[in-house]
Amino acid sequence: MTPLWRGYSLLYLEGQERAHPQDLGQAGSCVPMFYTMPFSVCGVSGCHYASRNDKTYWLSTMEKAPNRPFDGNIIRNHISRCVVCEAPASAVALHDPNSKRPPECPENWTSIWQGYSFLMYTGGGDEGGGHSLTSPGSCLSQFRAQPFVECQGARGTCHFFANVYSFWLTTLSNSSSTLSDVQDQSNHVARCSVCIRL
C-alpha cells in the first residue's frame, strides 16, 4: 500500500455540547497537524477561536497517563499517530465475541492487523460516538480501558478525565461482572481482525 499522509488520530470533536465523531477507519480521522482545538466557531458576530468550552478527543498512545492536566510538548507523547494509505480494495473488520482469539479472514483475504473490538465512547456529559463494526476503526490493535484523551482549546491542556468511558464488544456471559485488573479486562474483550482482499 502507498502511504499518502501521516498525522494524529482524531476521535471526535465537541461543539455547542454536541459530538461530531470521526470514523477511525476513514481518512478524515487522520489530521496532519495536532492542535488542542483545531476549529474555530463562526456566527453572526464573526469567528472566534478557543473562546468557548468546546473540546476535542484524540486516540491515545499506551504511554502512562499523568495524574493531572498536561500541556506543551508532553501532549504529543499521548496522542496516537496514524497513516492514510492507498489500498487496492476496502478493508473490513471481523469480530468474534464467541472466542478469545481473533477471527480468521475469509478465503482469498489477507489480515492487515488483529486487535480488540472497540464499539463506542462517551466524554463529558452524554456526548460521544461509535463505529460501524465493519469499519477498520472498530478494531484497535491494543486494549486500553481509557483509549482516548480529552483536550480543551481555551486552556491548551489535555487530560484523561474520570468521566469519559469506552465501550468494547465483550466475551463475558455475565454482564454484571466488574473487572479491575487490566489483564482481566483485555481477556474479556472480543477479538477482531482487519482483512483486505488483495
**Residue 53's pLDDT is what?**
77
Percent of the chain with pLDDT over 90: 56
Please compute the mean of the pLDDT values over residues 103-117 and round it to a whole number.
95
Please compute the mean of the pLDDT values over residues 135-146 and round it to a whole number.
94
pLDDT tens track for 146-186:
899 999 877 889 999 888 899 999 886 555 556 666 567 78
CA distance 13 to 150: 10
Find, among 31, 21, 36, the residue nearest to 127 by Cα. 21
CATH code: domain of residue 187: 2.170.240.10
**Residue 183's pLDDT is what?**
60
Q: Is residue 121 scored above 70 in pLDDT?
A: yes
Q: Is residue 56 scored above 80 in pLDDT?
A: yes
Domain that holds residue 173: 2-197
**Residue 124's pLDDT is what?**
72
**Residue 153's pLDDT is what?**
78
**Residue 119's pLDDT is what?**
93
Domains held by the chain: number: 1
Which band of pLDDT confidence, cut at 50, 70 and 90, is reported for residue 12? very high
Q: How many CB atoms lie within 10 A of CB 193?
A: 21
Please compute the mean of the pLDDT values over residues 31-35 and round it to a whole number.
93
**Residue 150's pLDDT is what?**
93
CA distance 71 to 156: 6
**Residue 171's pLDDT is what?**
85
**Residue 57's pLDDT is what?**
93
State the virtual CA torsion across 90, 91, 95, 101 in degrees, nearest 10. Answer: 150
CA distance 79 to 154: 18
